Structure 1
Amino acid sequence: MITPALPLSYERTPSADESITAWALAARGGDSAAVDHFVRALHRDVIRYVAHMCADPQAVDDLAQDTFLRALGSLHRFEGRSSARVWLLAIARRAVADSLRYTAVRPRRADLPDWELAVELAQPHGLPGFDDGVALFELLDGLPEERREAFVLTQLLGLPYAEAAALSDCPIGTVRSRVARARATLMALLAEAEEAPTPALAAA
């Protein structure tokens, strides 16, 4: 990865977003320390976003690195008109879209044991209504792409609905509707999982 031993993403607050945007602007001017702060602050958000949006968990790390490489190569064009977080997630969105177009024309690789790591990295903690042990990655994978993206952006990454709408190029009301439908579907799937008998009980 670009930066080893990266910590969790910074708490999403207006002041934190302002700091991250300031780091991005400083990094544009060649400040290497600002580059490091910028990458560390948003690394977890990018991992979560691409893990939930791409069709191949094995590609998560590559997509995250591709996102940051694209961003660092485009920093000279970043003017701070939007938050650096939204700007970076827009780049991640394009990276995922490019990856999906590429993988659509070649056979998918077989699943490997490290898919569990991608799930763990994407797994939110302390999200109301979800136990930490639930493989939310798998549940979200069953949602339509637009609802999955709206849920990930607002509920997992904490973007305001207005910023999620700008990123997704749709009205705020549409984002709210997608999130509500995604939440309803996820709660229904969780209820089904809780009611399903375990293999041991089923065999008894």
Structure 2
Amino acid sequence: MISVLPVPRADRASADASATAWALAARGGDPDAAEHFARALHGDVLRYVARLSGDPQTAHDLTQDTFARAFGSLHRYEGRASARTWLLSIARRAVADSLRCAAVRPRIADAVDWQTAVERTQPCGLPGFDDGVALLDLLETLPRERRTAFVLTQVVGLSYEEAAGFVGCPVGTVRSRVSRARATLERLLQEADAPNTLAA
């Protein structure tokens, strides 16, 4: 299941602190801390790689690859950035490497449409389900830069500063991209509601 709902910032700050403490303890050889670290951030990594790759079918593999890379370099982690920020930077490289490899491989013509796959992984009947699916559809209409900035800050829950570090641009640029993405999404939602309003 890949959720599209953002995590409240207060809860995220507490979770980040815990995950960072677990990562540092895991670096010291604590196996229980390593398990807590992986469980705490698994969902964030899964959502992040699913959105960046645009392919939920490979999201789980990319998530495993991310954690394999992270544990392989955990001895170098010093806690200067939160464990989540550090881990998502590894995830970004994993997705980039995967996309480079995919570019030289022939595509499978009968692959399941990824949007359909996302819908099937969502919990039907829960509040916000339809809105979550609609958001995924609308996000695909945005230019890549705006979509990435919006997903990083509004879906994954990174701060603007963290997102700017990931995409390699000024914080102001991220703010502008998110603002424009939000304006576009609001306009599209209003346009989608207009026929229903007229029908009523």
Q: TM-score range by the shorter chain?
A: 0.7 to 0.9
Contact kept? 1:67, 1:91, Cα under 8 Å: yes
The corresponding residue for 1:100 is 99
What is aligned with 1:156? Answer: 155
- Residues 69, 90 of structure 2: 8 Å contact kept: yes
Q: Distance in 2 between matches of 1:24 and 1:68?
A: 12
How many angstroms does 1:114 deviate by? 7.7
Scaled by the length of structure 2, the TM-score of the pair is: 0.80
| Structure with the larger helix share | 2
Query: What CA deviation, in whole Å up to 9, does each residue of 1:156-185 have, x standing for no partner?
Result: 122111121122221110110111111122
Letter in 2 for 1:84: A
**2: CA distance, partners of 1:29 / 1:10:** 29
Q: Which residue of 2 aligns with 1:111?
A: 111
* Deviations 1:51-103, CA, capped at 9 Å, x for gaps: 11113232111111111111111111111110111111111111111111111
Report the RMSD for the aligned CA atoms in angstroms: 3.0
Q: Which runs of 5+ in 2 are unaligned?
A: none
Q: Any stretches of 5+ residues in structure 1 without a counterpart? A: 1-7
Q: Is the 8 A contact 1:153 1:164 kept in 2?
A: yes
Counterpart in 1 of 2:185? 186
CA distance in 1, matches of 2:58, 2:47: 12
Q: Which gives a bigger RCO, structure 1 or 2 (Cα 8 Å, sep 6+)?
A: 2
User: Percent of aligned positions with the same letter in both sequences?
Assistant: 61
Alignment deviations for residues 19-72 of structure 1 (CA, whole Å, 9 cap, x no partner): 111111111112111111111111111111111111323211111111111111
CA distance in 1, matches of 2:64, 2:34: 14
Aligned to 1:3: none
Secondary structure class of the residue paired with 1:135: helix
